[in-house]
Amino acid sequence: MKTKLTKMIMSSLTFACASVCLAAVMALGTSGTARADSREASCGVHTLRGSYLFATHGWNIVGGVAVPKAIVEGIDFNGDGTLISPFATVSINGTILHSSGSPGTYTLNADCTGTLSFTAGASFDIFVQANGKQLWMIQTGPMPAVFEGTATRLP
């Protein structure tokens, strides 16, 4: 009788533990889905606001030849689809260039993808972290290039 009672108690406890585990997994799965939905809905031009540092290197393709290029640049996003680059140091095949005050525009979709274009320069596809702290950029024009980098918001 005691063995039968012990087996019944153990079966009940096993069932209860399995039920609790299943409920926890379902709750975590639902919570993760809710976070993903809210992330998608959170991106827009307002996501990018403040000063960022863009550091990158790659190549321009000139006459079929890869020419090395590196940039360290400040980008100030205004949170409304406009930006300005207050400073940039560029090295193209070892020749150093400095610029400042370059304006531009950007778009940002709900899924945190978008575009960025400097008025007198390059254009990029961008991929933005939902909290706006970091974005990844890959050059899409105007000249052929293999050029990508990361911009990080400054404190």
- Average pLDDT of 32-51? 69
pLDDT at 41: 52
Question: Percentage of the chain with pLDDT > 70?
Answer: 74
pLDDT score of 18 more than 50: no
- How far apart CA 75 and CA 101 sit, in angstroms, is 10
Whether the per-residue pLDDT at 125 is higher than 50: the answer is yes
Q: What is the pLDDT of residue 37?
A: 43
Q: Is the pTM of this model over 0.95?
A: no
> What per-residue confidence (pLDDT) applies to 120?
87
Phi, psi at 112, each rounded to 5°: 70, 20
The answer to whether 153 and 51 are in contact (CB under 8 A) is yes
Q: Which residues are registered as beta bridge partners of 149?
A: 56, 137
